[in-house]
Amino acid sequence: MKDQPAHRGIPKPEIEIAWYEACRLDVAVFKPGNVSLASPGHDMSAEDFLTSAAVSLPPMVNPELGVGARVLAAVRATRAAVGCNTNLGILLLAAPILKAAEHSDEASVPAIWRALKAVLAGLTAADAAEVYRAIAEAAPGGLGEVEEASVHSAPPATLLHGMALAQARDRIAYEFVHDFAGVFGLGQRSLNEGYARWQSIDAAVQWCFLSWLADTPDSHIARKYGKALAESVRAEAVRLASEIKACENPPDFERPLADFDTKLKARKVNPGTTADLTVASTLVWWLSDRG
């Protein structure tokens, strides 16, 4: 009997589609405080994000590149194309997910999660150096800037060590240290719940975003404005999520979401980390057999 060829993971065209859909939905879906096709803000437009997704796709889905190399190349491509940081958090979360998809036994959430844990366990010193360089070049304002491991100093021995130092103040770092438990837990539950209730991927993504925001004070807001404001926004999201959950039709969401968006943007408050976590959750959803 001839040997069977080794499984090579989820096919690259499907990975590319999942990346495109997750990034497209990031701006196609109206999410309070974030940039979208319906509501620009923070000196950025939805077109900036779509351009960023397009130019970062080649390195992000390149199986020859490691996690750190993907992030660094994608950050450089993004800054060359749009001149600002639109997607660092997305890139940090997506790079190990995309690499895991290339090695997953099947297109299911459990299989992708198993592969992701192996990717995280295999992160190298080179990944740490490349990610720290990418963060410094993207200049996001705070990620990893702790005394023991500033992104402007020598990187730690491993990327996970650096993320462990930052996890108390940055949710993306926390996800790395905890095997992306939120993305594969809360993220998938809220997407599935939203889609089952409203039969709309847009409504599911909105529900995922609100679920994240209601669950976890946004660390981007906390870094810029302090923990008190981040907690205040979280409390408002809890109230809004309760109101929306009672709605039968997604169009009924529009007014309360628009009011929250206006309030946040008037104060220049952007739940950016929550948006990044939502994109990562949506990416996993599309990569799996649920997408």
Residue-by-residue pLDDT tens, the chain, 291 positions? 334 334 469 999 999 999 999 999 999 999 999 988 888 766 778 999 999 999 999 999 999 999 999 999 999 999 999 998 899 999 999 999 999 999 999 999 999 999 999 999 999 999 999 999 999 998 764 444 433 445 556 777 889 999 999 999 999 999 999 999 999 999 999 999 999 999 999 999 999 999 999 999 999 999 999 999 999 999 999 999 998 988 888 888 888 999 999 999 999 999 999 999 999 999 999 999 765
Q: What pLDDT score does 277 carry?
A: 98
Per-residue pLDDT, 148: 40
Q: Distances from the Cα of 77 to the Cαs of 19, 82, 147, 211, 241, in angstroms?
A: 16, 9, 29, 31, 36
CB atoms within 10 A of CB 62: 17
Token readout for 97 is 């997910």
**pLDDT confidence of residue 160:** 94
Residue 143: its pLDDT value, please? 46
How many other CB atoms are found less than 10 A from the CB of residue 106? 14
**What does the DSSP 8-state code read for residue 65?**
S
Q: Tell me what pLDDT residue 246 has.
A: 85
According to the model, what pLDDT value does residue 147 have? Answer: 36
Looking at residue 248, its pLDDT comes to: 83
Q: List C-alpha distances in Å: 19 to 13, 25, 55, 98, 236.
A: 10, 10, 12, 8, 30
What is the rounded distance in angstroms from the CA atom of residue 253 to the CA atom of residue 174? 31
pLDDT at 139: 78
Close Cβ partners of 159 (under 8 Å, ≥ 6 residues apart): 67, 68, 123, 124, 127, 128, 131, 176
Q: Give the number of other Cβ atoms within 10 Å of residue 60's Cβ.
A: 26
Contact of 269 with 31, CB cutoff 8 Å: no
Question: What pLDDT, on the 0 to 100 scale, is given for residue 42?
Answer: 66
